[in-house]
Amino acid sequence: MTISRRDSRQLMVGNVPVGGGAPVSVQSMTTTKTADVDGTLAQVYALRGAGADIVRITCNDVEAAQGLAEIVPRSPVPIIADIHFQYRLALAALEAGVAGLRLNPGNIRNEDHIKTVARAASDAGVSIRVGVNAGSLDKDLLEEFGAPVPEALVRSALAEIRYLEDVGFHDIKISVKHSNVPLMVESYRLLAERIEYPLHLGVTEAGPPPGGLIKSVAGIATLLLEGIGDTIRFSLTADPVEEAKAGRQLLEYLGLRERTGLDLIACPSCGRAEVDVIQVAADATAALEAAKLPIQVAIMGCIVNGPGEAREADIGIAAGRGKGHLFIKGQVVRVVPEEEMVDALLDEAHKLLDEGVEARLAAADISAADLAYEERIELVELQGDANRSAERRAAVADIVSGDEG
C-alpha cells in the first residue's frame, strides 16, 4: 500500500525540507535548561541518534537565548526556538541563528509584535510554526466556542496565518494539537481542507508511556494514513529520546521512511511454545538494537507454524524442543541449540546484511529444512493440531459440496 500524501507547500528548516512531498520528519524537544549549553547539546545529540531530524529548544529568557547562540552552531540538526509570551525573545533567537521559530497564538496576541517577528524571520530566511494548542487557546475564542473544539483551533491558526501573510511571509507550518485524540484528528482534517501549508502533527500532553504512546500513535498514524502530515512529534512525559525513537519507528512501520533500525515481530505465544517467547524476544531485541541493525526479525514460539507465518521477515527463529530453527524469508537455514538462539540470530543477521539474501540461502545447511519438517510432524503428533486444520478443511469441503435441496 502506498500512502497518497496531501499536496502542500515546501519550506526548509535548516537543511531539512518539510512539506511538498519531502519525507515526513521527526521532531522532539529538549528538557534541559537551555542555559546549560553542554547538557542541552548532549541531549540534542542523543535525540539525533534516536532518529530526530529537528529539535526544538525553549527560549524563555535572556540566558536561554544566549545559550542558543552557542548551541546552534554545534548542533547536528536544525534547532527551532520555542517562544511564549515575549516576542523579543523570538527576535533574540533569530539573532542566535536558529533555523525555525514556534509561536503560540494563544499567548503572543499583539498583531504588531507578530508581524515584527515575521519580518525579522523573513530577513533571516527562517520558517515559523504556528503552534495552536488546546490548552492555551485564545480566551476570546474559548468564550465564543465554549471549549477548545476543532473549529476554534482552526480559527486561531487561520487568524495567525493572516498576520504573517499580511507582511508577505509564507514559510509557515501549522499545528493544531489537542490532548483528546478524536478532537485532534478532526482539527487537522478541518485545517488540511483550508490551507496548503505543511502540517506538524502531535497529540499534546499525551502523558507517560504506554498510554502516551498509544494516544500519539492513534492520532498521528490515523492522519498519516490519510496522507495528512509533514512532520511529527510524540509529546510524551518521558525521556525525549523515547519521543524521537517512537516517531521514527512509526514512520518506518508506515513505510514513510526507510528502515534504519530494528523491526522485531513475535508471536503472542501459546501452549504450543517450547520456550519463553517473551524472554527470547526481549533478549533478541536488546542484542539486535545494540548492534543497530536495520532489519526485520521474527521470534516465533514453535516450528509448527513459525517460519510460514513469518516468511516476510528478513530473518527469524522458531523454537523447537531444545533447539532453534533459524530461517531467512521463511526458509530454514540452520538448527542451533536453544541456549544459542539469540547469538545465532545476531550472527546470521550480520551475515545477511553483509552478503545478501541469495548468498545466505545458498549457504544454508541442506539438512536444516528436513529437521524442521520432522520436528513439526513430531510436535503435531505429540500436542495435537491446536488449529484443527484437517477437521476444519473437511467440514468446509462438506459445506461447499453439499446438496442445496
Please say whether the beta carbons of 152 and 145 come within 8 A: yes
More confident residue, 277 or 85: 85
| Nearest C-alpha neighbor of 85 from the set 57, 45, 124, 114 | 114
State whether 248 and 202 are in the same domain: yes
State whether 60 and 156 are in the same domain: yes
State whether 16 and 144 are in the same domain: yes
More confident residue, 126 or 374: 126
Query: Does 170 reside within a domain?
Result: yes
pTM for this predicted structure: 0.84
| Nearest C-alpha neighbor of 54 from the set 11, 110, 2 | 11
pLDDT(387) > 60? no
State whether 163 and 304 are in the same domain: no
Peptide bond connecting 105 to the previous residue in cis, omega within 30 degrees of 0: no
CATH of the domain at 373: 3.30.413.10
Please say whether the beta carbons of 75 and 105 come within 8 A: no
Query: Does 1 reside within a domain?
Result: no
Q: In the chain, how many domains are there? A: 2
Query: Does 345 reside within a domain?
Result: yes
pLDDT score recorded for residue 221? 98
* Strands annotated E in 240-322: 263-266, 296-300, 315-319
- CA 184, 185, 190, 191 dihedral sign is positive
CATH of the domain at 231: 3.20.20.20
* Residue with the three cell numbers 539469540: 342
Q: How many helices (H) and strands (E) does the chain have?
A: 15, 15
State whether 55 and 171 are in the same domain: yes
* Residue with the three cell numbers 545494540: 290
Query: Does 361 reside within a domain?
Result: yes
Query: Does 287 reside within a domain?
Result: yes
State whether 248 and 293 are in the same domain: no
Question: Rounded distance, CA 400 to CA 297, Å?
Answer: 39
pLDDT score recorded for residue 312? 81
pLDDT in tens, 2-42: 899 999 999 999 999 999 999 999 999 999 999 999 999 99
pLDDT(268) > 80? no
pLDDT in tens, 106-144: 899 999 999 999 999 999 999 999 999 999 998 999 999
Average pLDDT value over all residues in the chain: 91
- Write out the residue range of the structural domain in which residue 275 sits: 263-383
Across the range 177-187, mean pLDDT stands at 98
pLDDT(405) > 70? no
Query: Does 137 reside within a domain?
Result: yes
Query: Does 399 reside within a domain?
Result: no
Indicate the pLDDT class of residue 261, thresholds 50, 70 and 90: confident
Q: Domain end: 253, 288, 321, which one? A: 253
State whether 269 and 243 are in the same domain: no
Q: Domain end: 234, 253, 272, which one? A: 253
More confident residue, 279 or 77: 77
